[in-house]
A = this chain, B = another copy of it.
Amino acid sequence: MKKPIQFETGCAHCNVRIHSVFNVLESDQMNEMVMHKSCSTYKKGQYVFAENGLPTGLFCVNSGKIKITTTGFDGKEQILRLAKSGDIVGYRALISNERYASSAVTLEDATICIIDKAFFFKTMESTPKLMFEVVKKMSRDLKEAEDHILSLSQKNVRERMAEALLFLKATYGFEEDQKTIGVSLTREEIADYVGTSTESCIRLLSEFNQDKLIVLNGKKISIINLPMLIQTANIVD
């Protein structure tokens, strides 16, 4: 496994911090944080942390896209969550004082900071606002997980596939053309989120393509009929 390359930067000027849980920190706390974090670059496909590893700190994504995955009993991968710039990653195991139950892998080249465990815990204790930000993040992730449970439990593969495309769009947005989903996943990765086989995933994307809901161009997926895609997903609200 390739090693990430480390370097140091200040947090005060970090343009990502504004959109992260650390936005609530005072400037003196921020200056202190610089001494308790380090920043690394990762190539596409590298592990940020791996299942069963011990957390040593909190990861905060500066740039790049990350998938959080766990492994089923026959080795099949399950994508649980996706992260982007400004998101904290690996907080659950850290807070629960457990080994990682999932892995984090970069979907493209990324820059990620790791904040020292002791400093993070100390700051959380002294700054209820920070802890509250973490609580709110966890709350959103829990809501998302429960939506996913409902979907996996009650919807068919076609509906889930449409929903997955909408989820990807909601998470990463569109590219400049305002229709191409801002992340490139393999068909297998999409299947690993949707909970279906790679073949079924490929077939359904082709169908959506034929039905003029989307346009496929390699790994690039463009949504050209959003209302119809929403209808296909059978969204409640």
Contact = CB atoms under 8 A, between A and B. Distances in A.
Secondary structure at the A interface, as helix, strand, loop or mixed, is helix
Interface string A141-173: 111011011101111000000000000000000
Contacts of A44: none
Contact of A92 (B92, B102, B128, B142): B142
Contact of A101 (B125, B143, B148, B152): B143
A149 B150 contact: no
B80 A146 contact: yes
A122 to B, nearest CB: 11
Given A96-B140, A154-B72, A236-B73, A145 B135 contact: no
Interface of A: 70-74, 76, 78, 80, 92, 95-96, 101-102, 124-126, 128, 131-132, 134-136, 138-143, 145-146, 148-150, 152-155, 195, 234-236
Contacts of A131: 128, 131-132, 135
B96 A143 contact: yes
B149 A148 contact: yes
A135 to B, nearest CB: 6
Contact of A70 (B78, B138, B146): B146
A24 to B, nearest CB: 13
Contacts of A126: 128
A92 to B, nearest CB: 5
